[in-house]
């Protein structure tokens, strides 16, 4: 059949406009009642329930890359795509066991609050904010470039306009409604995405008598048994270990995910949000391989490759085949909403790092009025939003696949160790944190440049200097070593005493209300 | 910092609670590592087992992938059950002393 991409599709545009209008109305309704303050802007006043936050976390995490990317990967590479789907989920239990509750009890606007709590505010906030911003920038550029190409392909809008539309609509939500509006956008997007992928899965399974075994049978008969067996993705134990560490612990250092824990009132709701998030995301990754295998059999690999060699169009093509142009329009609008929501979450986290950690707390040393705080939040949102659009346009022709690997690697090696150690290690000192972030962040960035993804694929060298795609196996231990050396060389007695006192707050949750009030 | 705070901080009960919390967390993390890395290493090192058929077309690898996703969810849920029923009760008791 003929696939209609790259020409304006009335249903798609109609669905997209409906989604934007719906979210804007909800944004307007919920934000109208809210008092205008920095606390409300960054954390929705801490009044989000565990269920709502669980959906919003799922919305933040399930990007267009996981929807279109993983279904495409399964469609083209078979079982190897499924290994990815599994890997993206396992960070969530780790997040729950290690940091969800103490994070909620200690933080206010961003994870830098937790790290800086008992240490020297200036250097810690600066280092954490830079580590956080690096992760956010890599993630944002990957999202912007992916979304621009996607929208260009699906709606036939020129790339630059696609970037500007995403940036402008996203800024509208964030500036007007802050965290509360962003949360609702995430919730609506998560529901739409889960609904759309469920329908797509049911349509596929209906073709195979609702028996996945029949689907695998069709895959095997069309492409041979190799498609159902693991191929070359996991090459050896070291590569596997490094990839697993990056995926698992990277989640624990993503600023926009961590920030969501300050929107719930207490540790109990924080816990609940992780269970709900894990439920929704787990369900999503359970059914997405069925969409991928379905596309391989029903649409066919060669037809998918014709539209794009990465396989990103597998799910949209399948939706047109099974549900006609109206369903394709719906799926396209869902993908667009997905991008909007993820970029909104990233921008809000970046504005907390820029506006609160760098400007208000470090540059102004906290000597600002409430209205100045809010102004700083809005200004940094605009600055980051414009930068996101500009970078999206600048990187248009670049291969940005490595940026997600870089974001997760820096998150796992720079943000996670300092955050985790500040919670559990009494002797951690200011110098220790700065050295940990420097060691982890720099080694992760350098090793990624020397890895096959950049050194061979982008720079065109014949062999990589560092043989593994993910640097975590080296950079994560380096971050811990850095923290240890720094803390032993320049200990901080006051911080050690404060650590004992903070325990009441960390473990009993006493005294957190005064944090979200001012 | 009130006197009661200091008393709670130094109490055996509070110290025990913290120890219990991290023992449980690290135990759960260890289970997660075993489950996930067991899966990944099986794929990397024991292809014969992973490609063995269960039924006509489905293979061990597919079942294992689904199993790891379910296990991740179950581990998360078990942690919450523990936290709600064991940890929080203890927290409420200790809070009374503040």
Q: Which residues, 6 or more positions from A376, have their beta carbon under 8 angstroms from its beta carbon?
A: A38, A355, A356, A359, A360, A368
**Which residue from B minimizes the CA distance to A277?**
B73
Residue A26 has pLDDT above 90, yes or no: no
Percentage of chain A with pLDDT > 90? 53
**Tokens 């799922």 correspond to what residue?**
A58
Closest Cβ–Cβ partner in A90, A216, A244 for B57: A216
Average of pLDDT values for A453-470?
86
Average of pLDDT values for A352-360?
90
**What pLDDT does A168 receive?**
92
- Across chain A, what does the average pLDDT equal? 89
Residue numbers in B near A213 (CB within 8 A):
55-58
**Which residue from A minimizes the CA distance to B24?**
A97
Tell me the per-residue pLDDT of A49-97, one tens digit each, with 9 for 90 and over. 999 999 999 999 998 777 888 899 899 999 988 888 888 899 999 999 9
User: Is the pTM here over 0.90, yes or no?
Assistant: yes
Tell me the per-residue pLDDT of A328-338, one tens digit each, with 9 for 90 and over. 888 888 888 88
CA angle A269, A170, A312 (to 5 degrees): 90
**What pLDDT does B84 receive?**
94
Residue A9 has pLDDT above 80, yes or no: no
d(CA A45, CA A352): 14
**Tokens 């990967």 correspond to what residue?**
A73
Residue B48's pLDDT band (cuts 50, 70, 90): confident
Residue A501's pLDDT band (cuts 50, 70, 90): confident
β-bridge partners, B59: B53
Higher pLDDT, A16 or A220: A220
Residue B1 has pLDDT above 60, yes or no: no
Residue A159 has pLDDT above 70, yes or no: yes
Restricting to A residues 455-514, those with a Cβ less than 8 Å away from any Cβ of B are 500-501, 503-504, 507-510
Residue A187 has pLDDT above 90, yes or no: yes
Tell me the per-residue pLDDT of A262-296, one tens digit each, with 9 for 90 and over. 999 999 999 999 999 999 999 999 999 999 999 99
CA distance A179 to chain B (A): 26
Average of pLDDT values for A406-435?
94
**Tokens 């954390």 correspond to what residue?**
A43
Compute CA distances A197 → A191, A275, A391, B6, whole Å: 10, 21, 30, 54
Residue A518 has pLDDT above 60, yes or no: no
**Which residue from A minimizes the CA distance to B55?**
A213
Tell me the per-residue pLDDT of A378-419, one tens digit each, with 9 for 90 and over. 999 999 999 999 999 998 887 777 788 889 999 999 999 999
**What pLDDT does A6 receive?**
61
Interface test with A, best of B9, B22, B66, B73 (most A CBs within 10 A): B73
Tell me the per-residue pLDDT of A216-242, one tens digit each, with 9 for 90 and over. 999 999 998 889 988 877 777 888 888
Q: Tally the residues of chain A.
A: 518
The verdict on a CB contact (< 8 Å) between B9 and A96 is no
**What pLDDT does A193 receive?**
94
Average of pLDDT values for A444-453?
89
Q: Check if the beta carbon of residue A346 is closer than 8 Å to that of residue A72.
A: no
- Across chain B, what does the average pLDDT equal? 91
CB atoms within 10 A of CB A462: 6
The verdict on a CB contact (< 8 Å) between B5 and A501 is yes
**What pLDDT does A3 receive?**
65
**What pLDDT does B77 receive?**
96
A410 touches chain B (CB under 8 A): no
d(CA A440, CA A202): 44
Q: Which residues, 6 or more positions from A251, have their beta carbon under 8 angstroms from its beta carbon?
A: A61, A91, A92, A94, A95, A257, A408, A411
Residue numbers in B near A79 (CB within 8 A):
61-62, 65
The single-letter DSSP state of residue B53 is: B
Tell me the per-residue pLDDT of A35-51, one tens digit each, with 9 for 90 and over. 888 888 899 888 899 99
CA distance A326 to chain B (A): 32
A223 touches chain B (CB under 8 A): no
The verdict on a CB contact (< 8 Å) between A504 and B8 is yes
A272 touches chain B (CB under 8 A): yes
Residue numbers in B near A505 (CB within 8 A):
none
- A-B CB pairs within 8 A amount to 144
């Amino acid at each position: 059949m003929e696939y209609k991409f790259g020409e304006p599709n009335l249903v798609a545009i109609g669905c997209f406009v409906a989604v934007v209008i719906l979210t804007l109305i909800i944004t307007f309704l919920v934000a109208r009642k809210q008092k205008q303050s920095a606390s409300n802007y960054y954390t929705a006043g801490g009044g989000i329930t565990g269920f709502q936050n669980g959906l919003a976390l799922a919305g933040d995490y399930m990007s267009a890359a996981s929807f279109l990317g993983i279904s495409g990967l399964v469609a083209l590479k078979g079982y190897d795509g499924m290994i990815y789907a599994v890997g993206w989920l396992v960070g969530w239990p780790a997040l729950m066991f290690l940091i969800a509750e103490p994070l909620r009890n200690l933080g206010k606007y961003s994870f830098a609050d937790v790290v800086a709590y008992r240490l020297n505010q200036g250097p810690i906030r600066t280092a954490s904010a830079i580590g956080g911003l690096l992760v956010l920038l890599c993630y944002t550029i990957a999202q912007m470039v992916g979304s621009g190409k996607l929208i260009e392909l699906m709606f036939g809008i020129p790339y630059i306009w696609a970037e500007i539309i995403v940036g402008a609509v996203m800024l509208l939500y964030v500036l007007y409604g802050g965290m509360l509006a962003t949360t609702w956008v995430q919730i609506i997007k998560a529901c739409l995405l889960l609904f759309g992928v469920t329908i797509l899965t049911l349509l596929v399974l209906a073709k195979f008598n609702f028996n996945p075994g029949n689907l695998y049978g069709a895959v095997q008969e069309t492409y041979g048994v190799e498609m159902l067996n693991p191929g070359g993705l996991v090459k050896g134990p070291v590569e596997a270990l490094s990839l697993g560490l990056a995926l698992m612990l990277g989640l624990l250092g993503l600023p926009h995910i961590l920030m969501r824990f300050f929107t719930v009132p207490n540790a109990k709701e924080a816990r609940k949000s992780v269970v709900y998030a894990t439920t929704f995301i787990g369900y999503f990754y359970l059914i997405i391989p069925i969409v991928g295998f379905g596309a391989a059999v029903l649409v066919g690999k060669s037809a998918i490759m014709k539209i794009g060699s990465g396989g990103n169009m597998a799910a949209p093509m399948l939706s047109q085949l099974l549900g006609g142009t109206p369903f394709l329009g719906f799926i396209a609008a869902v993908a667009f909403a997905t991008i909007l929501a993820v970029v909104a979450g990233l921008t809000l986290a970046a504005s907390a790092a820029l506006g609160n950690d760098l400007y208000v707390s470090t540059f102004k040393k906290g000597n600002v009025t409430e209205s100045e705080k809010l102004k700083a939040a809005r200004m940094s949102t605009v600055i980051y939003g414009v930068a996101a659009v500009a970078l999206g346009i600048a990187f248009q022709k670049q291969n940005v696949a490595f940026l997600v690997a870089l974001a997760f690697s820096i998150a796992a090696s720079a943000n996670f160790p300092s955050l985790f150690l500040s919670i559990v290690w009494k002797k951690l000192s200011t110098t220790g944190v700065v050295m940990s972030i420097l060691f982890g962040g720099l080694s992760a960035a350098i090793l990624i440049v020397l890895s096959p993804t950049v050194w061979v694929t982008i720079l065109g060298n014949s062999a990589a200097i560092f043989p593994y795609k993910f640097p975590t196996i080296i950079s994560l231990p380096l971050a811990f070593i850095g923290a240890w050396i720094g803390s032993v060389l320049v200990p901080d007695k006051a911080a050690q005493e404060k650590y004992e006192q903070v325990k009441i707050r960390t473990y009993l949750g006493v005294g957190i209300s005064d944090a979200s009030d001012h | 910092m009130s006197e009661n705070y200091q008393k709670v901080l130094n109490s055996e009960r509070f110290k025990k609670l913290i120890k219990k919390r991290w023992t449980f967390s690290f135990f759960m993390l260890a289970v997660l590592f075993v489950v996930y890395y067991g899966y990944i290493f099986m794929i990397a090192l024991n292809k014969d087992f992973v490609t063995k058929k269960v039924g006509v077309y489905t293979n061990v690898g597919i079942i294992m992938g689904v199993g790891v996703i379910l296990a991740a969810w179950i581990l998360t849920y078990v942690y919450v059950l523990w936290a709600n029923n064991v940890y929080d009760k203890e927290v409420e008791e200790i809070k009374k002393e503040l």
